[in-house]
Amino acid sequence: MTLNSPRGTKDFFGNDIKYRNFIINTARQLFYVYNYSEIITPAFEYTEVFSRSIGEETDIVQKEMYTFLDKKGRSLTLRPEGTASVVRALIENKLYSNRLPVKLFYIGNMFRYERPQKGRMREFWQLGVESIGIGSSIIDAEVIWLLNSFFKQLGFRNLILLINSIGCSKCRVKYILELKKYLKPFKGELCFDCQNRIDSNPLRIFDCKKEGCRKILEDSPKINSFLCSECKDHFEGVLNFLKILEINYEVNPNLVRGFDYYTKTIFEIISSDIKSAQNALGGGGRYDDLINQFGGPDIPATGFAIGIDRTLMLMKQQNINFDIKKEEPKVYVIVMDKNYQSFALEVVKFLRDKNFACDINFKIKNLSSELKLAEKSSYNFAVIIGEDEVNTGNITIKDIDKFKQYKINWKSQKNKIIKLIWSKK
Ligand code: AMP
């Protein structure tokens, strides 16, 4: 019997790894430029970390968490998202005690028990940021700016940034009363889950993907007409900064996000080229009450998460290519006989000590098939060690891209070899 990976999980290798590394390296570089530092938290936490923050009534907590008891009967959960863990770590390690904001980023795998489909996995990868400690709208704008720059740097052009304000807990009380009033007469037309949500958490009805529920919401009261003056000013401030930063956005009054902890500004970046409900590449928002609810200080925060898998999928779909040749130059050492292997190892050692990516043919085959392999595997140079090279002490170096060949004396001209390889950078 052969064993397969669990449904909704994926192996990464070959070209996908190149895409993934490109995505992650681009993000790391940008996080550095925007002054974020990395945090790594465990892949599982006590279940309460997620149920208390994301919200008991959300789909994630009710249906999608990988929750299990450990050998001592404690309830643990594989993380379904990053923010809750970062907030737990922030409080536990008192990371807020120095200068604010605390700007953190994470890269990690997340787990949600959803029905797998294109762009929706049970184990998927996210990179995200959290900017903790400052409540003013300039921070919202900076986080959105970073999200926007990331996708621009990857080479995406036609993405849409949706933005909305869902107000603070004060404006929401009024809104929820109105929403309930509007929804009650339609109760029988809503799906079973949404019927229950009317009383328990009506905002979550906006997450429902069912056509019938969506239709009913089209004419519902909108949260942004219930904003208090502080939330209104905050939102206008964010939009104003985005204009200054020349970031295009669409205000979407129906935008809500699947977690309960959000306040004020929320946003999502979507692609109209993904023709399914799974068209969001990333999203985030403010969560001004969460840290305090977790037993930490009363400080506001904002952040976002980007789906690496979906980003990779769309890059391939849109033929967004990054120049693979921009990687470090790679050298393939081809040795033609077992007796020359020690000479070849000397060459490989020299190159690796100089930090050149380099490999050797461990099985002796014929030269032309090895050269073909070098070309196919995007090596930039082939070094040939055969009878002639051993006898004369002059090694042959082929520049694979330029179809040029050089003879270089191994003992006296090592610098020439380095220069030649460096010329590819
Ligand atoms: P969320 O944490 O739900 O706001 O999601 C942020 C981003 O993570 C989304 O925009 C997706 O790109 C990605 N994402 C969320 N859930 C999944 C999933 N089940 N499979 C793949 N990517 C996901």
Q: Which residues contact 266 (CB under 8 A, 6 or more apart)?
A: 163, 164, 165, 166, 255, 256, 257, 283, 284, 285, 286
Domain identity same for 288 and 151: yes
* Nearest Cα to Cα of residue 38 among 88, 101, 103: 103
- What's the pLDDT tens digit per position in 355-388? 899 999 999 889 999 999 999 988 999 999 999 9
The pLDDT of residue 136 is 96
Q: Are residues 154 and 108 in the same domain?
A: yes
On the question of pLDDT at 324 being above 70, the answer is no
pLDDT digit string, tens, across residues 311-321:
999 999 988 88
Q: Provide the pLDDT confidence category of residue 182 given band limits of 50, 70 and 90.
A: very high
- What digits encode the pLDDT tens for the residues 265-309? 999 999 887 766 678 999 999 999 999 999 999 999 999 999 999
pLDDT at 327: 67
Q: Read off the CATH number of the domain in which 373 is found.
A: 3.40.50.800
Domain identity same for 86 and 223 = no
Question: pLDDT tens-digit profile of 62-107?
Answer: 899 999 999 999 999 999 999 999 999 999 999 999 889 999 999 9
Quote the CA–CA distance of 360 and 371 in Å, as a whole number. 12
The residues facing 127 across adjacent strands are 107, 306
C-alpha 68 – ligand 1 centre gap (Å): 22
In CATH, what number is assigned to the domain containing residue 112? 3.30.930.10
| Mean of pLDDT values over 35-49 | 97
Question: Looking at the structure, do residues 273 and 183 belong to the same domain, yes or no?
Answer: no
Among the ranges 3-7, 218-222, 255-259, 361-365, which has the highest mean pLDDT value?
3-7
Q: What is the dihedral of CA 262, 92, 36, 131, to 10 degrees?
A: 20
Instruction: Write phi, then psi, for 76 (nearest 5 degrees).
Output: -120, 155
Which residues have C-beta atoms less than 6 Å from ligand 1?
81, 112, 114, 119-121, 124, 126, 258, 280-283, 305, 307, 309-310
Across 156-174, average pLDDT: 92
Rounded distance from Cα 280 to ligand 1 centre (Å): 7
Whole-structure pTM value:
0.88
Checking if the pLDDT of 151 tops 50, the result is yes
Question: Whole domain around residue 178: which residue ranges?
Answer: 172-227
Q: Do the domain assignments include residue 100?
A: yes
Question: Which of 120, 156, 160, 267 to mutate for ligand 1's pocket (most ligand atoms within 8 Å of CB)?
Answer: 120
Mean pLDDT of the chain: 93
CA distance 35 to 174: 38
Burial of 221 (0-12, 13-18, 19+ CB in 10 A): middle
pLDDT for the residue 321: 81
The sheet carrying 67-69 orders its strands as: 44-46, 75-78, 67-69
CA distances from 327 to 8, 21, 37, 312 (A): 31, 11, 25, 18
